[in-house]
Amino acid sequence: MKHRAVNRRSVVIGLGAAAGAAAVGGITLTAQAENTGGTDSAGTSADGSLVFDRDDFTKKTESIADASGTEHSVTYRFYKARDYVTHPSDSGHQSLVVSVPVTIDGKAVDASNAPIVLANAVGAYMPSTVADATGVGQAKLEMTGMGGGTGDPMPSGMPSGGTGGGMAGGTGAVNGMVNLAKLALVAGYVVVEPGTRGRSLTDSSGTYYGTAPAVIVDLKAAVRYLRANKGRVPGNVERIVSTGTSAGGASSALLGASGDSEIYEPYLRQAGAADASDAIFATGAWCPITDLEHADGAYEWNWGTLPTQSTGKTVDQNVSKELRSQFAEYQASLNLRGLKGSRFGKITARNYADYLLEHYLRPSATKYLAALPASERETYLAENTFITWQNDRAVFTWEGYLAHVARRKKTQPAFDAFDLSAGENNEFGEGTTKARHFTAYSARNDTTGLSGKRVDSDIPEKLKLMNPMFHLLEERNPHRSRHWWIRLGTSDTDTALTVAANLAMAVDNLGDEVDHAYYWDKGHATNEDPGDFFKWVAEVTGHKS
């Protein structure tokens, strides 16, 4: 497949932006409008084009904790929400904010060529917004209007109901989650926070306009906006590093994998995205909920024998077995080899448990236990006898690990629910149809009577638009990002461990640099090593702070 071969519509980027960065005065402790010209109240530029007005910012000073918890006084330019497309179906979501550090603890920071951290706030494939943000790290995830079915649990690690905090929002940790936007700013990076459409959005006629592929179209449009404004937008647009967690991790991975793929062209054109590349430099993805059309099988392979959290009951083992055999077939077809240096060769359903144990699970437990004071380690080991501590290493079996995790979060099938109740069914909604099947197996086993026992004809293309594995394995996309940070909690049963591990192998096998590790005993949407992440960002981008 050729990339960028199509003739993209040319979006005129006006030349109206001021020639130099605004000279602004001293540090203020409260928000202070320095310049309000150039944009209207909705944040679109006055001429309707996609020019980034670099004088349209507010100077702010905030105390922000770095990854180790030390507070710093950060003065930064805050560029309030502005549309990143010329024809937003919804500018409440298709807009972004930019934060640029000026001084940290009184010391000047020159971020003019710093990497740009593109921190999405996507969760549960729901909409996220920065429309009302007045500072960094205030993106809101809109969790209202989620389906109430059993297959659509409120993802743990998220604030319940309404807006407020979101994946990247709040003042700091939300159920253990960190605010990557704030951490990026205090680390000296330019921070861009995009809003994105999500699956719950409907227009006045009841049409769903935020379902697949809206989230990725929006993220790509945001990247194109930044690249089209090279030289105007602060930071180095050739060094965009994307971050996201869960559905946001999936979207971040997809953004990294699908750079400049032409399959999004009609959607980007329709939205009025800038005529520029949407390739990014590096990708951070925490617990990516991706490869959705294969995730039901993977889930049963991984967690199929565990009782369900909500009911305490084991799921139908016949269905589990059928799904598991689909996974075995799929996994074999991928032809993935264990990460560099792995003794495992091709990873299949047969050796996958051992591969996970050796590469990720035991090292994760070892790291956790080694860091504990001896007495606490003893206590932990006494309470968790499935682990033996041998030569300063944690040793345990797959069965021991599964019994330790104890419960699966999701019902069965986990993603394409027979009754269309999963959030992902809604993500593949279309027109006025809220939820649809996206796997042949669940369409065949549909219990709602709504569907024709087959997936709709547009589904295969939608799956490609949403799956990084398509871009990596089928397209071997040369415009993908080449640096990958992938993290997952060992107790995260929102999807199978294989989803992240396959993503890591796919990029590794293509020759990309990948840092993949697991947080011991941590659940969904956790981020235990943001300090290391920003060190990694500095390393891969060559950034010197």
253 sits in which H/E element:
helix 247-257
Q: Where are the extended beta strands (E) located within 357-512? A: 388-390, 393-395, 483-489
Q: Least distance to ligand DHB from the beta carbon of 194, Å?
A: 16
Closest CA to 517 of 497, 537, 531: 497
Q: Least distance to ligand DHB from the beta carbon of 59, Å?
A: 34
For ligand DHB, the closer of residues 296 and 494 by Cβ is 494
For ligand DHB, the closer of residues 139 and 247 by Cβ is 247
In three-state form (DSSP H/G/I as H, E/B as E, the rest C), the secondary structure along 277-346 is CCCCCEEEEECCCCCHHHHHHHHHHHHCCCCECCCCCCCCHHHHHHHHHHHHHHHHHHCCECCCCCCCCE
Q: Does 165 bind ligand DHB (CB under 6 A)?
A: no
Q: Does 201 bind ligand DHB (CB under 6 A)?
A: no
Q: Restricting to residues 108-127, name those near ligand DHB by CB under 6 A.
A: 123-125
Q: Does 222 bind ligand DHB (CB under 6 A)?
A: no
For ligand DHB, the closer of residues 124 and 241 by Cβ is 124
Q: Restricting to residues 515-534, name those near ligand DHB by CB under 6 A.
A: 525
The tally of CA atoms less than 13 A away on the side-chain side of residue 291 is: 29
Q: Least distance to ligand DHB from the beta carbon of 129, Å?
A: 16
Q: Least distance to ligand DHB from the beta carbon of 151, Å?
A: 9
Tokens read off for 496: 């199978």
Cα(287)–Cα(350) distance, rounded to whole angstroms? 23
Question: Phi, psi (5° rounding) for residue 63?
Answer: -90, 120
In eight-state DSSP terms, residue 508 is H
Q: Restricting to residues 423-462, name those near ligand DHB by CB under 6 A.
A: 423-424
Q: Does 289 bind ligand DHB (CB under 6 A)?
A: yes
For ligand DHB, the closer of residues 125 and 533 by Cβ is 125
Q: Does 273 bind ligand DHB (CB under 6 A)?
A: no
- Give the residue, chosen from 66, 260, 494, 512, that forms a contact with ligand DHB under the rule CB under 6 A: 494
For ligand DHB, the closer of residues 119 and 124 by Cβ is 124
Q: Does 181 bind ligand DHB (CB under 6 A)?
A: no
Q: Does 501 bind ligand DHB (CB under 6 A)?
A: no
Q: Does 141 bind ligand DHB (CB under 6 A)?
A: no
Cα of first residue to Cα of last residue in the chain, in angstroms, is: 39
For ligand DHB, the closer of residues 55 and 424 by Cβ is 424
Closest CA to 416 of 441, 449, 433, 453: 441
Exposed/middle/buried for residue 449 (C-beta within 10 Å: 0-12, 13-18, 19+): exposed
> Where does this chain bind ligand DHB (CB under 6 A)?
123-125, 155, 246-247, 289, 423-424, 494, 525
